[in-house]
Amino acid sequence: MRHTISVLVENKFGVLARISGLFSGRGFNIDSLNVAPTHDSDLSRITVVVRGDDTVLDQINKQLLKLVNVIEVIDFKEGQAVERELVLAKIKADTRTRSEIIQIVDIFRAKIINVAPESVIVEITGDEGKINGFLSMVESFGVLELARTGKLAMRR
């Protein structure tokens, strides 16, 4: 089962290493990891997406709460959170294909943020379905480079 876990931590040196070490030490591969300060510069939010057994992840969540500098741990259940991801994609584009790419960008409410003679860079945000749909539509043009933030989640 896939889990999206939000961990509110004090913005201190070594916190991320301890948290990621807890997952890797239990044999969990992290699908995505996102870390950034919150509105309070003393706090950061870590969003971790992992796949695994519910029982083992419950144990990990309890162990996370015992770590120094961890304030709150939330394991979001289906539908409990708003989830988004940001993607930057450099897509091969020439004079023949550029207008078709622009149409796809418009359909997905994405933005072209850079235009070069042989490529465009597109910024798109959304849930996993929207991101994957967009990427499958532009795949035939050639995705030259891709950067993904990983999932962010916030309780509804």
Q: Do 73 and 95 share a structural domain?
A: no
**Cα–Cα distance, 54 to 51 (Å, whole number):** 9
Specify the pTM.
Answer: 0.84
For the chain, give the mean pLDDT.
Answer: 93
Parent domain of 43: 2-78
103-138 confidence digits (pLDDT tens): 999 999 999 999 999 999 999 999 999 999 999 999
Question: Where residue 136 sits, what CATH number does that domain have?
Answer: 3.30.70.1150
Nearest to 1 by CA among 76, 71, 73, 65: 76
Q: Do 60 and 34 share a structural domain?
A: yes
Q: Do 55 and 99 share a structural domain?
A: no
Q: Do 104 and 46 share a structural domain?
A: no
